[in-house]
Structure 1
Amino acid sequence: MPITFAVRGDHIQLDQLLKAANLVTSGGEAHLAVEAGQVKVDGKPEQRKRAKLRPGQRVSFDGQQIVLVAADD
């Protein structure tokens, strides 16, 4: 079952998303996961730790899938 994550503003950085979704315990752990090629964005490996992600995108990591949606502001 995918995790739905509401993005406040126009984007969230990949490393911040992994931490905010409680998939890693620190920014350093997020950076290591991205560098190791363990994170996919829209089905493709993502190597940019601070990639700007927007509503509508999907992130896969460690068997979990995160679907980004716009926050109701």
Structure 2
Amino acid sequence: MIEFHLVGEFIPLIQLLKATNVVQTGGEAQIVVSEGEVKCNGEVEYRKRLKVKRGDIVEFDRHKIIVK
């Protein structure tokens, strides 16, 4: 489990994946999102620019990111 401490109101989903090092590049983040490999709050998410906010839980490839 990864705890990500948000500064500001939100972070775009692809930036969150890069910031937590679960993907290596922004391109990789876009691919895994567009292929439906990422869940936000239990739902498969296809929006790359989804605004992830405090309290959201993002899951990808055995990683669980809790946004605080």
TM-score, with length taken from structure 2: 0.98
Letter in 1 for 2:55: G
The 3-state SS of whatever aligns with 1:40 is: strand
Q: What's the % identity of the aligned pairs?
A: 46
Unaligned segments of structure 2, at least 5 residues: none
Cα distance in structure 2, aligned partners of 1:53 and 1:19? 13
The 3-state SS of whatever aligns with 1:7 is: coil
The 3-state SS of whatever aligns with 2:5 is: strand
Cα distance, 1:65 vs structure 2: 0.2
Number of equivalent positions:
68
Aligned to 1:5: 4
Larger Rg: 1
Cα distance in structure 1, aligned partners of 2:48 and 2:6? 17
What do residues 18-65 of structure 1 show as CA deviations (whole Å, max 9, x unaligned)?
000001111000000001100000000000001001000000000110
Unaligned segments of structure 1, at least 5 residues: none
Aligned to 1:27: 26
Letter in 1 for 2:62: G
Aligned to 1:39: 38
Letter in 2 for 1:11: F
Q: CA RMSD in A?
A: 0.4
Cα distance in structure 2, aligned partners of 1:5 and 1:22? 11
